[in-house]
């Protein structure tokens, strides 16, 4: 009968002064402390029973040369999903080493700084149902059959085609990313099991750049090839590749730019077995994934922040989902797209709201501008799949230049909001795409009057439950009435040279009236009693 012993590293400390130290199934459970050794020491895990090597912080298990060799191949050494192991020397697997994953997609983390031999590693990856996952193989010579019962796709940049992988024997190229989908109607949650030789060393995957109709425009799906997290930073060797990566979390795309430190990925950490997008921006692109940038990280398989001066984050919340974009001022940036600073908008699921800025027709989730010397207006794009109430919320004004005003203009309701004074804006919208409703205005000195010049043509007021518009212009127009969430409740013709009246039956409260006649317009908030 198998026995299972656990080395839980919480109490004792090994001072490795011996050449060889062996652990077997006879070791009892322990609490506390660390196991650490130099790269010259040799540590063997063996015996006649399963073992578990557990350390829940990155510096608890640091070993020299390590070997897994049991008296029977039926036994294995397991590293749990919440554990981290570093091998500074060589790793030899004469028997099985299992790296676990759990239903929350947390995975065991292993870093070997020497050579790896023995194709007996077993790496688990959890695929939850009914959402797409960007994935990558952590072992050499893996085949597509490990995803039996799961839809598996690969992206071909030269001709912008998704290819459905139907063969169980197609090699999963190391450092390439793939898309996987486990349908609840077919297989349910899936634990994918990779078996083979663990990947180590630098990798230089092939990336391409092709533009034009039915071309990939430089989008290449790569993958973390290691059984540990990987940090996207300036140490990567790359040519003609943007400084931002993109990772899908099942709902939205998260980004990270290593130059600015902006995005939704905590410190640019790419979890193990995680696929990610990079974008080539010119011919003959290249990239090298550096073995030296492997790290232990608690990020789940798929946290962020912004402390950069003069840059704000805007979060859009509604229908149970959120989306985030960044916009602001950075020395060296231009008002167009900058491959070292900006990030494109990649869209998430249909039910989740999507927020982005629009620059020369390009949709951006990170948009950094040149130094502001005059008024700048940025269009905000909005895409929602469900009619509902939504909220804009701005953060990080504590680091923003106090001499620059930031205003949000809602052209549908006529609302104009000083975001520094009121960083939360609620509104209602139907489902669809809206790219001409919201504007951000940046200027050194600006007022609401600057944004809404009525030219004195219209006088708007209310009495009891009616709204009156005195039209002094000689041209007809249109009257729109909105509630305070931006939902249109009434619309009427504006007749020239007379007093126009609209009766409101929606109850007591404040309403926004928008009057448009040719190039003249006015918005006014009124109270219906």
What's the pLDDT at 452?
Answer: 54
What's the pLDDT at 229?
Answer: 96
What's the pLDDT at 265?
Answer: 87
CATH 2.60.40.3080 at 458-528, yes or no: yes
CA dihedral 261, 264, 268, 273 (to 10 degrees): -170
What's the pLDDT at 59?
Answer: 87
Q: Is 266 helix (H, G, I), strand (E, B) or coil?
A: helix
Domain positions in the chain are 1-100, 125-304, 311-451, 458-528
H helices then E strands: how many in the chain?
A: 1, 47
What's the pLDDT at 455?
Answer: 53
First to last CA, the chain: 82
Across the chain, which has 529 residues, the per-10-residue mean pLDDT values are 47 36 45 64 90 90 94 92 95 97 90 96 95 97 95 97 97 98 84 97 98 96 98 97 97 96 90 97 98 88 63 95 96 96 97 97 96 90 94 86 89 83 90 94 67 63 86 85 90 88 90 86 84
Contacts by 22-29 with C-beta closer than 8 Å and gap 24+?
22/46, 23/47, 23/51, 24/48, 24/49, 24/51, 25/49, 25/50, 25/51, 25/75, 27/51, 29/5
In the structure encoding, which two tokens stand for residue 322, read together?
């959120």
What's the pLDDT at 75?
Answer: 94
What's the pLDDT at 90?
Answer: 96
Beta bridge partner(s), residue 112? 87
Q: Which of 325, 338, 458, 321 is nearest to 390 (CA)?
A: 321
Q: What is the side-by-side strand order in the sheet with 116-117?
A: 20-23, 42-45, 65-68, 91-93, 116-117
Given a contact cutoff of 8 angstroms between Cβ atoms, the answer to whether 44 and 69 are in contact is yes
Handedness of CA 517, 520, 523, 527 (dihedral sign): negative
């Amino acid at each position: 009968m198998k026995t299972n012993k656990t080395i839980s590293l919480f109490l004792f400390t090994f001072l490795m002064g011996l050449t060889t130290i062996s652990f077997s199934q006879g070791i009892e459970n322990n609490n506390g402390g660390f196991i650490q050794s130099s790269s010259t020491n040799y540590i063997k895990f063996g015996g006649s029973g399963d073992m578990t090597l557990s350390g829940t912080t990155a510096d608890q298990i640091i070993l020299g040369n390590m070997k897994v060799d049991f008296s029977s191949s039926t036994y294995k050494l397991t590293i749990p999903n919440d554990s981290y192991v570093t091998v500074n020397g060589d790793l030899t697997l004469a028997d099985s080493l299992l790296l676990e994953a759990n239903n929350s997609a947390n995975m065991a983390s292993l870093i070997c700084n020497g050579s790896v031999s023995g194709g007996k590693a077993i790496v688990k990856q959890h695929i939850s149902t009914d959402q797409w996952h960007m994935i990558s193989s952590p072992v050499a010579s893996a085949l597509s059959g490990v995803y039996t019962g799961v839809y598996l796709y690969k992206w071909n940049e030269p001709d912008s085609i998704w290819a459905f992988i139907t063969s169980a024997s197609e090699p999963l190229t190391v450092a390439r990313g793939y898309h996987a989908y486990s349908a609840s109607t077919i297989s349910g949650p899936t634990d994918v099991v990779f078996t083979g030789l663990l990947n180590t060393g630098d990798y230089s995957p092939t990336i391409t750049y092709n533009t034009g109709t039915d071309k990939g425009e430089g989008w290449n799906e790569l993958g973390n090839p290691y059984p540990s997290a990987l940090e996207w930073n300036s140490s990567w060797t790359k040519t003609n590749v943007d400084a931002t990566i993109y990772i899908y979390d099942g709902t939205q795309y998260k980004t990270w730019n290593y130059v600015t430190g902006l995005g939704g990925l905590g410190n640019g950490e790419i979890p193990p077995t995680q696929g990610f997008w990079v974008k080539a921006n010119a011919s003959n692109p290249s990239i090298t994934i550096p073995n030296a940038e492997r790290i232990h990280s608690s990020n789940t398989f798929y946290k962020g922040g912004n402390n950069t001066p003069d840059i704000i984050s805007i979060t859009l919340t509604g229908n149970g989902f959120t989306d985030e974009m960044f916009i602001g001022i950075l020395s060296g940036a231009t008002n167009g797209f900058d491959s070292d600073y900006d990030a494109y908008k990649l869209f998430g699921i249909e039910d989740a709201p999507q927020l982005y800025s629009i620059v020369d027709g390009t949709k951006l989730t990170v948009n950094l501008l040149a130094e502001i010397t005059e008024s700048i207006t940025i269009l905000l794009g909005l895409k929602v799949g469900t009619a509902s109430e939504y909220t804009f919320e701005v953060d990080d004004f504590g680091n923003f230049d106090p001499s620059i005003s930031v205003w949000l203009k809602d052209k549908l309701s006529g609302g104009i909001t000083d975001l520094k004074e009121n960083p939360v804006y609620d509104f209602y919208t139907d489902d669809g795409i809206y790219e001409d409703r919201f504007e951000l205005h940046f200027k050194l000195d600006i007022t609401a009057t600057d944004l809404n010049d009525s030219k004195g043509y219209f006088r708007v007021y209310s009495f009891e439950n009616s709204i009156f518009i005195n039209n002094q212009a000689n041209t007809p127009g249109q009257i729109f009435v909105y509630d305070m969430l931006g939902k249109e409740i009434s619309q009427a013709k504006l007749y020239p040279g007379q007093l126009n009246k609209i009766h409101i039956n929606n109850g007591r409260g404040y309403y926004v009236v928008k009057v448009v006649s040719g190039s003249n317009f006015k918005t006014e908030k009124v109270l219906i009693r």
